[in-house]
Amino acid sequence: MGPEATADLYMRIIRATKVQRDQDHRRVIIDSNAKIPDRTAAIRGEGPSPLPMLVETGLNLQCAGADLIIIPCNTAHHFHADLQSKLKIPVLHMIRLSAEKTHAKHPAVRRAGLLASDGTLMSRLYQESWEKQGIEIIEPGAETQRDVMRAIYEHIKCGELEPGRKLLYNASLELIKAGAEAVICGCTEVSIVLHDGDLTVPVLDPMQDLAEEAVRLSAG
């Protein structure tokens, strides 16, 4: 998984936890394994499957005492069912969780634009989960999707946040013009640079939903 996204998720967990002292924080076990093969390349048939290393990492966390697992990568959820079948502890499904929370928090939203990797679009992870909640998913056009991939892989993953943010902002404007009533950060790298309040419509952040749910489930 991307180390920047991993660090961002951990900070969200910290901020989502109400504490009065250090000891009130959750115990968090992090295995930042950036060697896991690229998920989008695997889905395209252009690289090895990440599943063996996802399972290995999941088993490491399980053996280390984790009660649940969260993954700071949308595209990795393409392999969720196979990963979960190899583990005894739950792996939270970020995309399904966010669909449910969005339906509850933004009931008026019926069309949402999706900023995500090619792998996530190809696997239709969002369509499967969000359309069950009555939310239609709008994807960028082909040229704009190339800009989204450039933002993720050539800028944000390389530490160049501002150029990536500009590309994603412009892609968001296209989605809004196409009728999106909200924009989804469908890649954890997108979540790093695009935030609610940046656009004229709500910015929906599955990674924030994941952090808050992890804190809730680990209470006590």
Q: Which residues are catalytic?
A: 73, 187
Angle between helices 3-16 and 206-217 (to 10 degrees): 50
* Token pair of 49 as six digits: 């499957």
Helix (H, G, I), strand (E, B) or coil at 134: coil
Contact predicate 99/129, CB 8 Å: yes
Type of residue numbered 189: E
Please give the torsion angle defined by the CA atoms of residues 170, 174, 180 and 186, in that order, rounded to the nearest 10 degrees: -50
Residue 141: phi and psi, rounded to 5, are -65, 170
Cα–Cα distance for residue pair 208/201, rounded to 1 Å = 17
